[in-house]
């Protein structure tokens, strides 16, 4: 953390892995911070130009992935709790909700150097228990190379490991869980159908398409190093966000013929309602709430296990170009399934 507020945040080293709950150094994107006032902080982040997960997209021109920004905001929320709110490093975190809004897609264009992000974080609300801070609501705004790109509100809580274990044991005891009922392991959909190039980064298997609704099967691949940076006892938020995005892109293509090449996640409002368990199959139920207008399409999506909602979202996709490419994508999709 910068010792003084001199207007210059450092981008020369990453913050310690433990302060953002990451195991791999390459998955740590924050580099520095400074406290501006009692409830406001500046946090620096370096955005990688190339990443096996966040750079794997068919859209052009090359741009920083909105879900990379979600991860940066997630790291900033955890880092702020540890650094400025004295949350113990061994505490466990729960994310209650998050609302991302891309304010300027042009600011996400990748240039000749890694993007220098500056996050202005304002403490909107604190949660206390027995006089100790145990949760926070942060309003965050991210600028990339001096140009505001996105905002996000995050709501999170934290607790000691023993309290976490008791909560998880109680929740799991109320469910019928068996290792014999694994997640979906069927063949994943064609990468082009969800805007990807690598099958490893596809998180959808089979899908059922109705007139105004699509139901997708979510693949939980714990071998994916970006989604599962370290062992977890539940489905992580990063996979839930990706499941929502890919389900929305798949639905936009199937229902309206919109090309995944020209769709950008522009806004997502998410609530996490219960833990996702590894022993239960997971689906996304996608319903249209806004038919395509010149620039956007929106869906309401529920992620469910045995028809019990574990998370919900409203996902907005922005069209970055006309529908050109949709026919080519359908041919590529058909060839991949053949």
Does pLDDT of 328 surpass 50?
no
The mean pLDDT of 198-208, rounded to a whole number, is 94
How would residue 181 be classed by pLDDT, with cut points 50, 70 and 90?
low
Does pLDDT of 330 surpass 50?
no
The mean pLDDT of 161-175, rounded to a whole number, is 95
Residue 112 confidence (pLDDT): 93
172-337 is classed CATH 1.20.1250.20: no
Question: Measured between alpha carbons, how far is 139 from 155 in angstroms, rounded to an integer?
Answer: 9
The residues with which 116 forms a beta bridge, in sequence order, are 46
Residue 227 confidence (pLDDT): 95
Does pLDDT of 299 surpass 60?
yes
Does pLDDT of 107 surpass 90?
yes
| CB-CB neighbours of 309 under 10 Å | 13
Does pLDDT of 248 surpass 90?
yes
Does pLDDT of 180 surpass 80?
no
b vs e for 139-166, b when ≥16 Cβ sit within 10 Å of the residue's Cβ? Answer: bbbbbbeeeebbbbbbbbbbbeeeebee
Residue 323 confidence (pLDDT): 45
The mean pLDDT of 237-255, rounded to a whole number, is 97
Residue 293 confidence (pLDDT): 76
| CB-CB neighbours of 265 under 10 Å | 23
**Structural domain boundaries in the chain:** 17-165, 172-337
Close Cβ partners of 296 (under 8 Å, ≥ 6 residues apart):
266, 290, 316, 317, 318, 319
Residue 335 confidence (pLDDT): 43
Fold annotation for 17-165: Thiol Ester Dehydrase; Chain A (3.10.129)
The mean pLDDT of 119-144, rounded to a whole number, is 97
Residue 3 DSSP code: S
């Amino acid at each position: 953390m910068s010792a003084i507020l001199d207007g210059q945040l450092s981008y020369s080293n990453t913050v310690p892995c433990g302060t953002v709950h990451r195991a791999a150094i390459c998955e740590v994107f924050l580099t520095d911070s400074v406290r501006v006032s009692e409830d406001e902080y500046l946090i620096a982040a370096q955005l990688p130009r190339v990443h096996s997960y966040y750079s794997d997209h068919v859209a052009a021109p090359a741009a920083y992935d909105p879900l990379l920004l979600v991860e940066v905001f997630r790291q900033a929320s955890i880092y702020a709790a540890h650094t400025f709110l004295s949350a113990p490093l061994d505490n466990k975190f729960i994310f209650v909700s998050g609302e991302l809004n891309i304010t300027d897609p042009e600011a996400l264009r990748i240039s000749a150097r890694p993007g220098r992000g500056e996050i202005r974080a304002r403490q909107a609300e604190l949660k206390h228990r027995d006089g100790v801070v145990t949760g926070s609501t942060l309003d965050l705004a991210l600028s990339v190379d001096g140009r505001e790109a996105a905002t996000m509100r995050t709501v999170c809580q934290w607790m000691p490991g023993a309290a976490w274990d008791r909560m998880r044991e109680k929740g799991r005891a109320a469910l019928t869980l068996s290792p014999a009922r694994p997640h979906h392991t069927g063949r994943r959909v064609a990468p082009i159908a969800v805007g990807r190039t690598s099958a490893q980064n596809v998180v959808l298997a089979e899908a059922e398409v109705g007139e105004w609704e699509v139901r997708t099967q979510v693949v939980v691949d714990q071998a994916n190093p970006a989604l599962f940076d370290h062992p977890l006892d539940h489905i992580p938020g990063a996979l839930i966000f990706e499941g929502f995005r890919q389900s929305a892109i798949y639905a936009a293509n199937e229902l309206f013929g919109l090309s995944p090449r020209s769709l950008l996640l522009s806004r997502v409002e998410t609530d996490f309602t219960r833990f996702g368990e590894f022993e239960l199959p997971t689906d996304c139920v996608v319903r249209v709430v806004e038919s395509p207008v010149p620039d956007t399409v929106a869906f309401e999506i529920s992620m469910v296990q045995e028809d019990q909602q574990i998370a919900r979202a409203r996902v907005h996709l922005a069209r970055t170009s006309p529908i050109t490419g949709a026919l080519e994508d359908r041919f590529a999709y058909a060839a991949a399934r053949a």
